[in-house]
């Protein structure tokens, strides 16, 4: 009984920390990126991470709902988490790719990162491609890869929270809406920590990630206590 409650409790606490970490990887440029004035995807941190995370959550839930899947079986558990990760990666990968097409063919800018001299993955020089008066534009390879890592972590985090809630005995419907709320809570905490825009793991702001993880860990710990108490019917 105690173990049955403890495992989901640990899972939900870890899920919060993972979701918070994931948001730090996603290259979001906010409103300036929508004007090709800064590097990254042109929308808000929380919104984009949530969009990707929820696609992963649906992929994980669809996998968990299949006949023959047992959420207590470790192998099945891993498959559900990986399904969530892949679902999120497909969503964010396509969004970044098509966003890139619009930047290059619709706006006519070259993908360039402002926070590094050379792209750490391809080795391409970045500074000379940045329009004067802007802080980069579009989604260079390093941002794309960072975004995919973020999406994978977000999908795993969302799926882990969902599985934990299912293990506590909640129905799929209730577990789904609680996982959505839980995801938003941690994404907003991460968004406060980032404070606007971030380019990915090469951005100096990324070094603030431990603060975000600790904040989400504490918040998820409290949430975990509440959902465990709820599952006991108190």
Partner 1 sequence: MDSTLIILGALALSSAAATVAGCAEDLESDVGSQSNPNSQVQLAPQMGNIHRYFNKAISGEPVSYGLYVAVAGTIAWALMNIGMSTIFALVIGAGVAAFIHGVYAVSAYLGRIVGQSQNFGQPVYLDVVITHLGPIVGHGFIAVFCMLLAAYLATSILGNPFPLPLVALIFGITVGAIGSSTGDVHYGAEREYQKYPFGGGVPVANHGDIDIKAEIGIRNGMDSSYFCSKLGGPLTGLTFGLIVFLDGWRGIVGGILGNALGGSLISKSIIAIIVGIILVAVMVCLNRLVEVYARKKYGPYTDR
- In the region spanning residues 92 to 111, those forming contacts with partner 1, defined by CB under 8 A, are 93-111
Q: Would you tell me how many other CB atoms lie within 10 Å of the CB of residue 22?
A: 29
- 163-182 binders of partner 1 (CB under 8 A): 172-173, 176-177, 180
User: Does residue 133 belong to the site contacting partner 1 (CB under 8 A)?
Assistant: yes
Nearest-angstrom CA–CA distance, 28 and 13: 25
Nearest to 42 by CA among 116, 84, 98: 98
By the rule CB under 8 A, 71 interacts with partner 1: no
Length of the chain: 234
- Cβ closest to partner 1, residue 107 vs residue 214: 107
State which of residues 14, 18, 21, 48 lies at the interface with partner 1 (CB under 8 A).
Answer: 48
Tell me which of 19, 52, 160, 163 binds partner 1, using CB under 8 A: 52
- Compute the least distance from the CB of residue 218 to partner 1, in Å: 26
Query: What span, in angstroms and rounded, lies between the C-alpha atoms of 205 and 115?
Result: 10
Is residue 86 involved in binding partner 1 (CB under 8 A)? yes
- Please state the closest distance from residue 227 (CB atom) to partner 1, in A: 17
If the CB atoms of residues 172 and 207 are measured against partner 1, the closer one turns out to be: 172
- For partner 1, the closer of residues 7 and 79 by Cβ is 79
Q: How many residues bind partner 1 (CB under 8 A)?
A: 82
The secondary structure of the chain in percent helix, strand, coil, rounded to multiples of 5, reads 70, 5, 25
Query: What span, in angstroms and rounded, lies between the C-alpha atoms of 127 and 110?
Result: 11
Q: How far apart are CA 183 and CA 41, in angstroms?
A: 20
């Amino acid at each position: 009984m105690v173990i049955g409650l403890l495992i989901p409790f640990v899972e939900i606490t870890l899920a919060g920390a993972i979701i918070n970490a994931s948001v730090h990887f996603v290259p979001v440029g906010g409103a300036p990126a929508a004007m090709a004035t800064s590097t990254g995807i042109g929308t808000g941190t929380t919104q984009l991470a949530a969009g990707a995370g929820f696609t992963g959550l649906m992929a994980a839930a669809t996998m968990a709902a299949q006949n023959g899947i047992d959420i207590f079986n470790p192998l099945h558990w891993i498959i559900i988490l990986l399904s969530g990760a892949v679902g999120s990666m497909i969503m964010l990968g396509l969004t970044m790719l098509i966003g890139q097409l619009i930047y290059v063919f619709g706006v006519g800018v070259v993908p360039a990162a402002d926070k590094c001299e050379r792209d750490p993955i391809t080795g391409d020089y970045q500074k000379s491609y940045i329009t004067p008066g802007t802080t980069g534009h579009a989604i260079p390879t390093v941002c794309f890869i960072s975004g995919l890592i973020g999406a994978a972590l977000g999908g795993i985090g969302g799926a882990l929270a969902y599985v934990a809630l299912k293990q506590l005995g909640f129905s799929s419907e209730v577990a789904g809406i609680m996982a959505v709320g839980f995801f938003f809570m941690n994404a907003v905490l991460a968004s406060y920590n980032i404070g606007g825009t971030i380019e990915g793991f090469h951005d100096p702001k990324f070094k603030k990630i431990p603060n975000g993880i600790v904040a989400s860990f504490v918040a998820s710990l409290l949430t975990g206590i509440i959902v465990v108490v709820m599952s006991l019917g108190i």
